[in-house]
Amino acid sequence: MKEEIFWVWLSRIENLDKRKLDKLLERYKDVSNLWNVKNSYELLQLGLTQNLSEKIVDNRYKKDLEKYIQYMRKNDIEILTFKDEDYPENLKQIYDPPISIYIKGNRKILNEKSIAIIGCRQCSKYGEDITKKFAYELGMANINIVSGLARGIDTYSHIGALRAKGKTTAVIGSGLDIVYPPENSALYQKIIENGGVILSEYIVGTKPLARNFPARNRIISGISDAVLVVEAKEKSGTLITVDFALEQGKDVYAIPGNISSESSYGTNELIKEGARLVANPRDLLKELLI
């Protein structure tokens, strides 16, 4: 049996993170040996929860794996595991890297100089213009622009990079066969056609459930060399990504906004708390290209 099938199987098991898998591989040495475990009691003895132990030995998670793999091959979707040479180096360094990632497009850019550009979905015209300007200028300088393909700042980040004929990476919270939001389907295709990459830790068929997005955010910051926040409201999912970035030791930059704008509250607060203020792309290029 090809090893690929074991990793596709593992990616179906919710709450199996790299730390738990490392513990399992200490005992079983190889994923093929883990596949053959039949008794959940064995796994309980290693400190796993009953729920996770039962999922690992549950044959339902082993069904239809060849169908997944056939779909992936037909649609040019690859799986990269943390054991693979091409697995993004930045991602290896975070506390809880994905066991595996599914990718579609140019995986080479995942190990090149990059910055995440993030912000709120309901952004202002100011946020849109600034995002496109920064993504364009950084894209022209060969910086890979990483974002999440969501509405608002994410969308304009990818668009700005594409206008520069630059590199861009979209990290999504669903399987690679599902585009969310649906209106970004054309943008999804343009990213791939222009040498970018779409990335997810979720197997094809996974819906864009709300709980997937905080986990997605740790990958956006984790895969990037730094994070730029354009606009963020007071209670914004963007700030979750910032928290991950700080935990991961990444530099966080923020663009100041109108103090009367709800969309600038979060960025202005970040600056007060120590995020580095940037007013033009040159400020960032000096830092990123050192």
As a whole number, the mean pLDDT across the chain is 94
Mean pLDDT, rounded, for 205-228: 96
Burial of 243 (0-12, 13-18, 19+ CB in 10 A): middle
Q: Residue 259 carries which side chain, given as an amino acid letter?
A: I
pLDDT, residue 290, reads 57
What domains are defined for the chain? Answer: 3-74 (no CATH), 107-288 (3.40.50.450)
For residue 30, what is the DSSP state? S
Q: In what order do the strands lie in the sheet with 100-105?
A: 78-81, 100-105, 197-200, 168-171, 144-147, 114-118, 226-229, 251-254, 276-277
Confidence of residue 287 (pLDDT cuts 50, 70, 90): confident
Neighbouring CB atoms inside 10 A of 164's CB total: 19
Confidence of residue 80 (pLDDT cuts 50, 70, 90): very high
Q: What is the pTM of this model?
A: 0.94
Q: Which is nearest to 131 in space by CA: 142, 141, 123?
A: 123
Q: Which is nearest to 275 in space by CA: 266, 286, 288?
A: 266
Share of the chain above pLDDT 70, in %: 99
Helices (H), 12-58: 18-28, 31-35, 40-44, 50-57
Q: What is the pLDDT of residues 100-147, one digit of tens each?
A: 999 999 999 999 999 999 999 999 999 999 999 999 999 999 999 999
Per the listing, tokens 């994923």 go with 31
Write out the DSSP string of 126-192: HHHHHHHHHHHHHHHTTPEEEE---TTHHHHHHHHHHHTT--EEEE-SS-TT--SSGGGHHHHHHHH
